[in-house]
Amino acid sequence: MKKLILVIVILLVAYEGASRSPTFRQLVGAPGLLTALAPGASSDVLLAAIRDQRSGAQVTGEGIVSAVLPDDNKGSRHQRFILTLPSGQTLLVAHNIDLAPRIPSLATGDQVSFNGVYEWNPKGGVIHWTHHDPNGRHEAGWLRHGGQTYE
């Protein structure tokens, strides 16, 4: 147990030192990379992707449902809703309900946490890949609502 704590402390110290490097910050913002060592780091990746209008970043965050939209039933079916992030930014969440369970009884005002891929658009962006990859080639995403995880 002491060794595990020591390893975690060393990793956190290394992360803190490296995070001051511009090269490291560029790498953390690169598509597919997610930082889990520091609280809020992955939401920082999301905010940077929004700011830089950069698509393809695997991101984690949370927000409040500001609108529940009709399902998109063209091709793969998606449950759709708008989240308002703590920053005030809004995002469309497109959750594939052919690959993952739908969030039942989702309502305006509900809190939802997410892990998925951010795609920029002029309206703020879309979060998708909020589910497992049945082929195992993509990082699995998820949604959390009411203590339940949907993946």
- Give the CA-trace dihedral at 126, 53, 123, 125, to 10 degrees: 10
> pLDDT (tens digit, 9 = 90+) per residue, 16-62?
544 444 433 333 333 333 333 334 445 788 888 888 999 999 999 99
Residue with more model confidence, 108 or 36: 108
Percent of the chain exceeding pLDDT 90 equals 60
CATH number of 2-150: 2.40.50.200
pLDDT at 110: 98
> pLDDT (tens digit, 9 = 90+) per residue, 64-89?
999 999 999 999 999 999 999 998 99
Quote the CA–CA distance of 25 and 125 in Å, as a whole number. 22
Quote the CA–CA distance of 47 and 54 in Å, as a whole number. 10
Q: Map out the domains of the chain as residue ranges.
A: 2-150
Which residue in this structure is represented by tokens 């995403």?
141
Full-model pTM: 0.71
